[in-house]
């Protein structure tokens, strides 16, 4: 039998037995899979709401680690997903790096826009919400300036804010954030080309940018990885409890898309993706021109080398566009989300980023 099997390329009895054992082990892991899916927890650091405006909540992280720096840190995330990706799980939390380094750390939770929020514009987010949050932190901490870390679209909003309010920002860290859309490298940019995507029509019908559309678009940027490879990997590792916890935490975040306020989405698509006004210094927020050269504070630009959503060509031009003399760009071998949750990033990148920010922040007196 064995000889015949080998002759025709069939598995040997040993191989068939091994495959059977593997299948059995995976079948026995099913209850653990179901349990992990039901008990998944995201957002590992305790936090307290210290400010609220409309749907926005400002969270302050609580820690036992001693505070070493007087200058606080504000984390600003994108409007398309929830901000807990930066504090996903123990060992995968960017926030915990800054807390353990001694930074008083805050995070903006934008909330979930509803129908009535469709008219919220970039002006509302940048000159009202972010500005009010920054003022609140300055008042609460007594620090005249704060550090800002912006991730993805949150980095773009942070850069706009810093350019408009250079006197309130001590240092700016951009994490996988787009600033220049001149090179049509990203698939998302090809799809949002005005020849193929009528953003006005979409918002006329839906009001806000619907989360299911955003979710599908992000999924289809890497269809083979997201629809096939991921599940092959899941099947192969489903007996590993640690893997399951990480997998379901990540899935929870990936599927937790929220709508984007219509007017903001329209402005971002038109002014950034389609007209590329920001890097050219032609973007206006309200009636103020956003001139990136007004960013004179220290800037650390963290760029994901393998980013399919925000390729390096969209992030790197920031360093040439700003007026700051103290700026640095770090290209890290990771993807867009790997920068926030990847083991290598937590081992190598974030300790560096904390040290960089620490050198440029005021130390706590006394």
Partner 1 sequence: MTTDFSQAFAGADAFGAFWSDFVKRMASGGIPSPAPAAPPSPDVLAQIRRAFFDAMSQHADQFMRSEPFLTAMKQAMEHSLALQQATNDMIRKGLSAAQIPSRADADHITLLVRGVEERLVDRLERLTARIERMESGRPTRGGAAENGKPAARRSGARRKSAK
Which two structure tokens, joined as six digits, stand for 344? 């290598």
187 binds partner 1 (CB under 8 A): yes
Nearer to partner 1 among residue 213 and residue 356 (C-beta): 213
CA separation (Å) from 225 to 176, 220, 231, 233, 246? Answer: 20, 9, 9, 10, 17
Residue 358 contacts residue 69 (beta carbons within 8 Å): yes
Q: Which of 83, 155, 166, 207 binds partner 1 (CB under 8 A)?
A: 207
314 binds partner 1 (CB under 8 A): no
Task: Compute the half-sphere exposure of residue 65: CA atoms within 13 Å on the CB side of its CA.
Answer: 19
157 binds partner 1 (CB under 8 A): no
Shortest distance, position 212 Cβ to partner 1, whole Å: 11
Nearer to partner 1 among residue 191 and residue 320 (C-beta): 191
**d(C-alpha 333, C-alpha 302), whole Å:** 11
Residue 152 known to be catalytic: yes
Helix H or strand E segment including 178: none
301 binds partner 1 (CB under 8 A): no
Nearer to partner 1 among residue 10 and residue 362 (C-beta): 10
Nearest to 51 by CA among 168, 126, 128, 136: 136
| Catalytic residue, candidates 307, 327, 346, 354 | 307
49 binds partner 1 (CB under 8 A): no
Shortest distance, position 2 Cβ to partner 1, whole Å: 12
121 binds partner 1 (CB under 8 A): yes
Q: Which of 196, 325, 365, 366 binds partner 1 (CB under 8 A)?
A: 196
| Catalytic residue, candidates 87, 97, 124, 152 | 152
Nearest to 239 by CA among 33, 16, 3, 2: 33
Shortest distance, position 246 Cβ to partner 1, whole Å: 21
Nearer to partner 1 among residue 227 and residue 364 (C-beta): 227
Nearer to partner 1 among residue 46 and residue 223 (C-beta): 223
The dihedrals phi and psi of 216, each to the nearest 5 degrees, come to -65, -40
338 binds partner 1 (CB under 8 A): no
Shortest distance, position 355 Cβ to partner 1, whole Å: 36
Which two structure tokens, joined as six digits, stand for 69? 């720096």
Tell me the window of 59-67, 103-111, 186-194, 237-245 that interacts with partner 1 (CB under 8 A).
Answer: 186-194
Cβ neighbour number for residue 170 with a 10 Å cutoff? 21
The dihedrals phi and psi of 109, each to the nearest 5 degrees, come to -105, 110
Q: Which of residues 101-120 bind partner 1 (CB under 8 A)?
A: 115-116, 118-119
191 binds partner 1 (CB under 8 A): yes
Which two structure tokens, joined as six digits, stand for 90? 């123990």
182 binds partner 1 (CB under 8 A): no
Q: What is the DSSP string of 193-252?
A: -TTT--HHHHHHHHSSBPHHHHHHHHHHHSHHIIIIIHHHHHHHHTT-HHHHHHHHHHHH
Rounded to 10 deg, the angle between the 241-254 and 30-38 helix axes is: 40
Task: Provide the binding-site residues for partner 1, judged by CB under 8 A.
Answer: 6-12, 15, 115-116, 118-119, 121, 123-124, 127-128, 187, 190-191, 193, 195-198, 201-202, 204-207, 220, 222-225, 228-229, 232, 263, 266-267, 284, 286-288
Active site residues: 152, 307, 336
């Amino acid at each position: 039998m064995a000889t015949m099997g080998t002759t025709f390329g069939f598995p040997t009895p040993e191989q068939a037995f091994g495959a059977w054992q593997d299948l059995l082990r995976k079948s026995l892991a099913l209850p653990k899979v179901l349990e992990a899916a039901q008990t998944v927890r995201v957002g590992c650091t305790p936090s307290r709401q210290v400010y609220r405006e409309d749907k926005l909540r400002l969270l302050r992280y609580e820690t036992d680690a001693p505070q070493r720096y007087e200058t606080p840190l504000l984390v600003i995330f994108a409007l398309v997903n929830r901000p807990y990706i930066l504090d996903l799980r123990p060992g995968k939390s960017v926030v915990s790096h800054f807390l353990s380094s001694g930074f008083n750390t805050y995070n903006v939770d934008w909330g979930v826009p509803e129908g009535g929020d469709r008219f919220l514009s970039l002006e509302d987010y940048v000159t009202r919400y972010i500005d009010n949050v920054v003022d609140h932190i300055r008042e609460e901490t007594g620090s005249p300036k704060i550090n800002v870390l912006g991730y993805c679209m949150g980095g773009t909003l942070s850069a706009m804010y810093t350019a408009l309010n250079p006197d309130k920002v001590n240092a700016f860290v951009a994490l996988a954030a787009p600033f220049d859309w001149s090179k049509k490298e990203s698939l998302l940019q090809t799809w949002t080309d005005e020849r193929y995507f009528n953003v006005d029509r979409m918002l006329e019908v839906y009001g806000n940018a619907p989360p299911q559309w955003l979710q599908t678009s992000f999924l289809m940027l890497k269809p083979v990885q997201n629809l096939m490879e991921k599940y092959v990997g899941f099947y192969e590792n489903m007996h590993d409890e640690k893997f399951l916890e990480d997998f379901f935490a990540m899935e929870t975040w990936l599927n937790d898309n929220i709508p984007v306020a219509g007017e903001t989405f329209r402005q971002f698509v038109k002014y950034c993706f389609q007209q590329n006004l920001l890097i050219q210094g032609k973007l206006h927020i309200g009636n103020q021109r956003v001139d990136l050269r007004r960013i004179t504070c220290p800037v650390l630009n963290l760029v994901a080398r393998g980013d399919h959503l925000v390729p390096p060509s969209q992030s790197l031009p920031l360093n040439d566009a700003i007026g700051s003399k103290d700026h640095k760009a770090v290209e890290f071998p990771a993807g867009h989300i790997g920068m926030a949750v990847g083991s290598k990033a937590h081992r190598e990148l974030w300790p560096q980023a904390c040290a960089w920010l620490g050198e440029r922040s005021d130390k706590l007196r006394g």
